[in-house]
């Protein structure tokens, strides 16, 4: 199984741990994924989602529409 969000595609990133003496060791940054059962096209499906996508899905629909309208108005 891939370490990737099935909604936004957020995945593994690579970098370095840097100590006080500036010594670099390889580091893998993994996304914060959770299994969730959501309804897709009328069927309950188990998917792996990052926490940001889970928060967006749990928001009330009206609040999401209001924030989208505020963003469009600001542009």
* 40-51 confidence digits (pLDDT tens): 888 888 999 999
With respect to residue 3, please indicate whether it lies within any of the assigned structural domains: no
pLDDT at 65: 53
Q: Look at the pTM and tell me if it is higher than 0.75.
A: no
Contact 61, 53 (CB under 8 A): no
Cα(44)–Cα(30) distance, integer angstroms? 26
Q: Please check the confidence at residue 57 and state whether its pLDDT lies above 90.
A: no
Which residue pairs from 13-18 have beta carbons closer than 8 angstroms and sit at least 24 positions apart in sequence? none
Domain range for 48 is 32-61
With respect to residue 52, please indicate whether it lies within any of the assigned structural domains: yes
Is residue 67 very low, low, confident or very high in pLDDT (cuts 50, 70, 90)? Answer: low
Q: Label residue 42 left, alpha or beta by phi (over 0 means left) and psi (-120 to 50 means alpha).
A: left
Report the domain count for the chain: 1
Mean pLDDT of 8-20: 95
């Amino acid at each position: 199984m891939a370490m990737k969000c099935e909604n936004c595609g957020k995945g593994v990133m690579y970098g370095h741990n840097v100590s006080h003496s500036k010594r670099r060791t390889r580091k893998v940054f993994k996304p914060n994924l959770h299994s969730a059962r959501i309804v897709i096209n009328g069927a309950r499906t188990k998917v792996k989602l990052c926490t940001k996508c889970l928060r967006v899905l749990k928001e009330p629909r009206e609040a999401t529409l209001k924030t989208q309208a505020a963003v469009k108005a600001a542009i």
